[in-house]
Amino acid sequence: MGHLRRNTEPNGRRFLLDARTRIRIVRVMAHITTSVEYAIHCLLWLAVRDDPALSSRDLAELQGVSPTFLAKILPKLERAGIVSAHEGVRGGYRLARPAERITFLDIVDAIEGEKPLFDCQEVRRRCALYGDCPPRWASGGVCAIHGVMLQAEKAMRLSLASQSLGDIAKRFSRIAPAKFFDELDGWVDQRMSDRIVRGNKSDNR
């Protein structure tokens, strides 16, 4: 019984749900993936410190994630016009427009694409009692379940569109101590100096 969790049905009766089933449900509902989370964190770093540009390796090290992972994320943000890439030793990524004009919906759509929250399979038409010809009352119009999901998706997109990267950057700037930003500046400046030194050594070979 260690893997079972007790839940309550709408009628008040109790039922048991296997923990593995609960994990599968969570995975199905995870429409917004980890890639979106890291994309937002990358953009947050760019929003609180826009100059100099931050390389994909800098952003990866700041977050303790593989550079190859971010290499799949940042080009999507660039194609969506959210960041711009700059070449050279002093190059890297910058925000392509003010943080206040980048919504969470912009970021989600850039990474995930405009895919629906729910993919209705029209299960209502497959009842064995209907045979090959489901009646109009059972198959006409928008599926009621799909309708609920469409409303949920609309509410989610409206909520994401109402929050900007600038909102989060301001909140972060208010709570982080000044010492943190001094340390961040020093860390970025040191990384930039190291890149310049390596670049000069390569030019002298």
| Residue 34 tokens, joined | 């980890």
pLDDT at position 120 is: 81
* Amino acid identity, position 12: G
Beta bridge partners of 2: none
| CATH architecture group of domain 31-176 | Orthogonal Bundle (1.10)
Rounded to an integer, what distance in angstroms lies between the CA atom of residue 22 and that of residue 19?
Answer: 5
As beta bridge partners, residue 4 has 18
> Is-contact 57 67, C-beta < 8 A?
yes
pTM of the model: 0.74
Please say if the pLDDT value at position 154 is more than 80.
Answer: yes
Residue with tokens 């919504």: 103
165-185 per-position pLDDT tens digit: 999 999 999 999 999 999 998
CB 46 within 8 A of CB 54: yes
- Distance spanning both ends of the chain, measured CA to CA: 68
Note whether 161 and 105 are within 8 A (CB): yes
pLDDT at position 200, please?
66
Using left for φ > 0, alpha for ψ between -120 and 50, and beta otherwise, residue 175 falls in: alpha
Domain ranges of the chain: 1-30, 31-176
Write out pLDDT tens, residues 5-20. 444 444 444 434 444 4
